[in-house]
Amino acid sequence: MKQWTRVTAVLGLSALALAACGEAPDDEAAPAESGAAGATDSSEAAAEPVDFTGCMVTDAGGVDDRSFNEAADRGLTQAVDELGIEKNVVESSSETDYTPNVEQLVAGECDLIVGVGFLLAGAVGEAATANPEETFALIDSTLEEPADNVKPLLFNTAEAAFLGGYLAAGMTESGTVATFGGIPIPPVTIFMDGFVDGVAYYNEEKGEDVQVLGWDKEAQDGTFTGDFENQANGQTTTENFISQGADIILPVAGPVGLGAAAAAEAADGVNLIWVDSDGYESASQYGSLFISSVLKNIDAAVFTTTQETIDGAFSSDPYVGTLENGGVGLAPFHDFEDTVPQELKDELTAIQDGIVAGDIVVESPASP
């Protein structure tokens, strides 16, 4: 059931400014002139060393996935630069690596162990139970049985993806857009839910009929490539969408999305909206294709959790990133700054304000 209320007031602004409140990191960067990146900048001066090691186990996409693993590593690297910690990152190449990788870090000199991704919940949960003296953070998941030594880092990306869907609907030339995922897990489907609802909201507001391929929110069923590694699958999936008329694609699949970018680059008039990080920067070889990106500011959450742990303020209370506290957002338009109509920018600003105010309620079965 659709839960949003129409917003008729349009603000005369060209930016999508994130309101800094709630649990937002104190050192969050100021919003960009167009869009809102929300990631923190590293200090130029090296910090004094502290006796603290921040550790991380990546998901199977590895630290160079141009997406959520890279964002988590960026937050830990910022802690090295600004807080003076040491870091130890162990990369996973498959799901079978998760448990031994977590156990390797437990056996080492780690003061905080970050598990990157929903699929590491089992390995982190088992390690946390067996080692109550260790401190963990878990991105994109909670444990079945909450533990005092595990802090979930969660993100209501449906809110930001709603903006991405509205943007896609406002920019499509063909009247057809598409989305697909890597694996059907909540941190993936939450993007797809928000994207579909954003398109539907555009259709209601404008009396249009923009179609979305790849995801049926009501049935919670759609197109998935089956992993977060095989870029060829992303390319084939995107080529199929393009053949059906889609001209804007939202891949929610980590490095698999690079295959989608390759397909878009080879086509005429096809563009993408990236997820997790700002694709214009993290996948810069395809930067000219990205209208924007739906941001999940994992780096800020990892940095803040590390700082809290150093300060003795670690808490198992979940962090939930939202539009209101800057944990999620929409990236700048970059090369599309002059292409996105001012009217559409203003509408996006009004919609974001409506979501923050509670006038527009964006819901997903995967919402934290």
The CA–CA distances, whole Å, from 97 to 60, 85, 103, 123 equal 8, 25, 10, 10
Look at residues 17, 341, 361, 12 and name the one whose alpha carbon lies nearest to residue 201. 361
Summarize pLDDT for 44-64 with one digit per residue, the tens: 567 899 999 999 999 988 888
Average the pLDDT over 113-138 and give the result. Answer: 97
Q: What percent of the chain has pLDDT over 90?
A: 83
Average the pLDDT over 94-121 and give the result. Answer: 96
Residues 6+ apart with CB under 8 A from 96: none
Average the pLDDT over 304-312 and give the result. Answer: 97
Tell me which amino acid residue 296 is: K
pLDDT given for residue 37 in this prediction: 37
pTM of the model: 0.84
pLDDT given for residue 62 in this prediction: 86
216 pLDDT more than 70:
yes
Taking the C-alpha atoms of residue 122 and residue 236, their distance in angstroms, rounded to an integer, is: 32
Taking the C-alpha atoms of residue 197 and residue 5, their distance in angstroms, rounded to an integer, is: 12
Q: What DSSP element (H or E) covers 129?
A: helix 121-130
Higher pLDDT, 13 or 348: 348
Give the per-residue SS3 of 272-304: EEEEECCHHHHCHHHHHHEEEEEEECHHHHHHH
Average the pLDDT over 110-126 and give the result. Answer: 96
Query: Is the domain covering 53-155+298-321 a CATH 1.10.3720.10 domain?
Result: no
Taking the C-alpha atoms of residue 278 and residue 36, their distance in angstroms, rounded to an integer, is: 10
Q: What is the mean pLDDT of the chain?
A: 89
pLDDT given for residue 214 in this prediction: 98
DSSP state of 224: B
**Beta strand residue intervals within the chain, DSSP E:** 53-57, 86-90, 112-116, 136-139, 150-155, 176-181, 211-213, 215-216, 221-222, 248-252, 271-276, 290-296, 319-321, 328-330
- Judged by average pLDDT, the poorest of 25-29, 133-137, 256-260, 324-328 is 25-29
- Angle of helix 186-206 relative to helix 157-171, nearest 10 degrees? 40
Task: Give the right CATH number for 157-296+338-357 from 3.40.720.10, 3.40.50.2300, 3.40.640.10, 1.10.10.10.
Answer: 3.40.50.2300
In the chain, CATH 3.40.50.2300 covers 53-155+298-321, 157-296+338-357
Look at residues 142, 102, 93 and name the one whose alpha carbon lies nearest to residue 121. 142
* Angle at the Cα of 176 from the Cα atoms of 171 and 181, rounded to 5 degrees: 100
141 pLDDT more than 50:
yes
pLDDT given for residue 65 in this prediction: 82
31 pLDDT band, cuts 50/70/90, is: very low
Give the distance from CA 101 to its chain's centroid: 24
Structure tokens at 319: 């962090």
pLDDT given for residue 76 in this prediction: 97
Summarize pLDDT for 247-299 with one digit per residue, the tens: 999 999 999 999 999 999 999 999 999 999 999 998 999 999 999 999 999 99
pLDDT given for residue 47 in this prediction: 82
344 pLDDT more than 90:
yes
Alpha-carbon Rg for the chain in angstroms: 20
Cβ(91)–Cβ(58) below 8 Å: yes
Average the pLDDT over 229-256 and give the result. Answer: 97
Computed from CA positions of residues 187, 203, 344, 22, in that sequence, does the dihedral angle turn out positive or negative? negative
pLDDT given for residue 45 in this prediction: 61
